[in-house]
Chains A and B, each alone.
Chain A
Amino acid sequence: MKLIACTEGHSGKIEAFSLEMIAAARSLTQADDEVVAFFAGRDAEGASACLGAADRLIVARSTRSDVIPAETYALLLRDVIIAESPGLVLVPYSANGLDVAADIAARTGWPLISYVNEIKRLGENLTIVAQMYGGKILAECEVRLPAVLMINPGAFAAAAPAPIAPVNVQTIDAEPVLTSGKVKMVAIDMPDYADVDLTTADRIVCVGRGIGDEASIDLARNLATMLGAEIAGSRPVVDNGWLPKLRQVGKSGQKVKPKLYLALGVSGAPEHLEGMSQADLIIAVNTDPKAPIFNVAHYGATCDLFDLVANLSDRLRAGSGR
């Protein structure tokens, strides 16, 4: 059986989760199985230099663009699926993967399971553990091959980066599909870190939905100032316009690794944990003792966050006056 591991990268950088997709595929191989990595974009050399843990690499190469619209990526991948007849396609849970996985599943008629954490292979069937309800429930699923799986970043340890032998690299021209595609890329905006770069911050105080309203963010901001920390927010806080986008931590925000991450009223959906679980010291405050944030926190408290912020601010203020 062939297993296709979808990979991504742009601006000369292959995304780390690409090597996780290859490792996930490799963990399911049996005798004579083959792991085929698929990459679409301009950086064919970068992919060839990095994705050697796969047996083969198929590059849909663009001469123009780093970023391939998901629909074009899916059309290119569909051609590869037709040519290779794989038994399994693994797609990363990314902005691109969210669109690609269901598109491919619909166009092939194959089943799809999303947010996958664990996979076991039993002949022509897979048993899967997937996340639901923001990680509060795990679903044990069964799926018959061929199938598409969308894999959570971090669920599998990454394969080691290594070059792949040129003889095992097949290049196809993405330009005709890109040119005829219905979705045209017109601009890429890179972040402007003039205001704040959370990725370099040593200390972060992050507020989540539990902060309640915009006015209350000032309390957390004052605490952050006392700690020499940057204020940050989870997705609902930023979506509500209470903090700017560059201060969002998580899958669709910034991935941070500070020395201190104080999470106030953050539940810790998988998308959020992906952005901060590598912090050196995580302190979480949430009245829900089952909040997933406690699974990664080094210290956790279930008290009211406003009471805690007031008490902590008093103590820090008193300490600074000594």
Chain B
Amino acid sequence: MNILVVLRMIPDSAGELQLAEDGRGIDREWLDFQLNDFDDHALEEAILLKEASGAKVTVVAVGEGANRVLQMAAARGADEVVALQSEEDAMISSREIAASIAAMARAKSVDLVLCGVQSTEDVFGQLAPYVGALLDWPHVSGTNRIVANGAVLRVTQERGAGVAVTYELATPAVLGVQTASKAPRYVSGSKLREASKTPIGRATPELSGFELTAEIITLRLPVQGGSGENLGGNAETVADRLVTILAAKGLARN
């Protein structure tokens, strides 16, 4: 089985985000870029499938720091790594890169495309269903378990509130991964150093194939709507206040 995994590098939204001067993007100069969490799980699921059934895993990465994350993917067991060129300082629109991923899937005779179920930048839609629809391959997102038996996949999808649905589908297919069957593995420094010699392929983007009839006019920071009381930043005084608050509401004791 040939598996193609898509890794997207996105701004670390745990930190503070500043708007760009033109108001149409975020200021990326001092931002940390990190691998989209869900894509990390997609990579892990691909490596687990490789270990279980001997699949070949090709990883394509897009965005700031793609080379670094591709070396990490090679250290984790990817067979081939490719950087998809992207516009610098621009958000990664899933709608825009879908055609490139579909073209790569065709060119490499891929049986299974794996990517994260979503990213924080896909305001114009999710990648897996776009790629699935472009290729006319079956697709399922929100997966947390994938088992391959030859060309038949058994896939479990989270539906929320603890409900899980298991589907069967034949390859070729596209899956959006919510959680890998096991947590993404740790990679040792020595493995990373060894993987740093892995040649990184280059791919050029395909035209999106979608007419652009939606656009971002401006970005803004949300008004902090919290009307709650700020207890401050000193742990001791905050603890004192909380004990008082919890006691007043009858919640301080077991």
A113-B124 contact in complex given A98-B176, A301-B238, C-beta closer than 8 Å: yes
Partner of A102, one of B17, B129, B179: B129
A191-B221 contact in complex given A113-B214, A239-B183, C-beta closer than 8 Å: no
Q: Are B123 and A315 in contact (CB under 8 A)?
A: no
> Does B231 count as interface, using CB distance less than 8 angstroms?
yes
Query: Complex Cα distance A187/B154, Å?
Result: 10
A297-B228 contact in complex given A112-B124, A135-B222, A259-B251, C-beta closer than 8 Å: yes
Contacts of B126 in A (CB 8 A): 98-99, 101-102, 114
Contacts of B16 in A (CB 8 A): 288, 290
Q: Are A185 and B165 in contact (CB under 8 A)?
A: yes
Contacts of B165 in A (CB 8 A): 67, 185, 187-189
Q: How many A-B residue pairs have CB under 8 A?
A: 297
Q: Closest Cβ of chain B: how far from A291's Cβ, in Å?
A: 9
Q: Are A281 and B249 in contact (CB under 8 A)?
A: yes
Contacts of B249 in A (CB 8 A): 259-260, 281
**Which among A95, A96, A127, A315 has the highest number of chain B CB atoms within 10 Å?**
A95
Contacts of B170 in A (CB 8 A): 182
Q: Are A137 and B26 in contact (CB under 8 A)?
A: yes
Q: Are B233 and A301 in contact (CB under 8 A)?
A: yes
Contacts of A105 in B (CB 8 A): 95, 125, 130
Q: Are A319 and B168 in contact (CB under 8 A)?
A: no
Q: Are A94 and B160 in contact (CB under 8 A)?
A: yes
> Does B14 count as interface, using CB distance less than 8 angstroms?
yes
Q: Closest Cβ of chain B: how far from A129's Cβ, in Å?
A: 9
Query: Complex Cα distance A106/B125, Å?
Result: 10
Contacts of A94 in B (CB 8 A): 160
Looking at the complex, which of A51-59, A158-166, A247-255 is the stretch in contact with chain B?
A247-255
Query: Complex Cα distance A11/B191, Å?
Result: 49
Q: Are A95 and B157 in contact (CB under 8 A)?
A: yes
Query: Complex Cα distance A259/B252, Å?
Result: 12
> Does B150 count as interface, using CB distance less than 8 angstroms?
no
- Chain A, 263-322, CB within 8 A of any chain B CB: 267, 281-285, 288, 290, 292, 294-304, 307-308, 310-312, 314-316, 319-320
Q: Are B160 and A95 in contact (CB under 8 A)?
A: yes
Could you say which interface size class chain A belongs to?
A: 35 or more
A301-B139 contact in complex given A142-B215, A209-B14, A228-B254, C-beta closer than 8 Å: no
A311-B133 contact in complex given A102-B126, A114-B125, C-beta closer than 8 Å: no
Binary interface profile of B, 88-103, with partner A (CB < 8 Å = 1, else 0)? 0000001100100000
> Does B240 count as interface, using CB distance less than 8 angstroms?
yes
Looking at the complex, which of B1-9, B62-70, B114-122 is the stretch in contact with chain A?
B114-122
Q: Are A185 and B245 in contact (CB under 8 A)?
A: no
Contacts of A294 in B (CB 8 A): 224, 226, 228
Q: Are A320 and B254 in contact (CB under 8 A)?
A: yes
Query: Complex Cα distance A252/B46, Å?
Result: 22
- Chain A, 175-198, CB within 8 A of any chain B CB: 181-191
> Does B190 count as interface, using CB distance less than 8 angstroms?
no
Contacts of B160 in A (CB 8 A): 94-95, 251-253
- Label chain A's interface by main secondary structure: mixed
Q: Are A71 and B139 in contact (CB under 8 A)?
A: yes
Partner of A95, one of B158, B221, B224: B158
Query: Complex Cα distance A288/B217, Å?
Result: 28
Q: Are B228 and A99 in contact (CB under 8 A)?
A: no
Partner of B245, one of A143, A203, A285, A299: A299
- The residue on A at minimum CB distance from B247 is A319
- The residue on A at minimum CB distance from B229 is A299
> Does B243 count as interface, using CB distance less than 8 angstroms?
yes
A316-B132 contact in complex given A137-B221, A140-B217, A186-B166, C-beta closer than 8 Å: no
> Does B77 count as interface, using CB distance less than 8 angstroms?
no
Partner of A111, one of B14, B124, B234, B240: B124
**Chain B residues at the A interface, C-beta cutoff of 8 Å:** 11, 13-17, 19, 26, 37, 41, 94-95, 98, 117-118, 120-130, 132-134, 138-142, 154, 156-170, 173, 176, 178-179, 182-183, 210-222, 224-226, 228-236, 238-243, 245-247, 249, 251-254
25 example contacts (A-B, Cβ-Cβ < 8 A) are as follows A69-B140, A69-B167, A70-B129, A94-B160, A96-B159, A99-B140, A102-B94, A112-B125, A132-B120, A133-B120, A137-B17, A143-B214, A147-B213, A184-B167, A188-B165, A189-B166, A252-B160, A253-B160, A260-B249, A290-B16, A295-B225, A295-B226, A304-B235, A314-B239, A319-B253
Given contacts A98-B176, A106-B125, A299-B231, 19 further A-B contacts (CB under 8 A): A70-B139, A99-B142, A102-B95, A107-B133, A110-B213, A114-B126, A136-B13, A139-B218, A140-B218, A140-B220, A143-B213, A143-B215, A183-B168, A252-B158, A259-B251, A304-B235, A307-B235, A315-B240, A315-B243
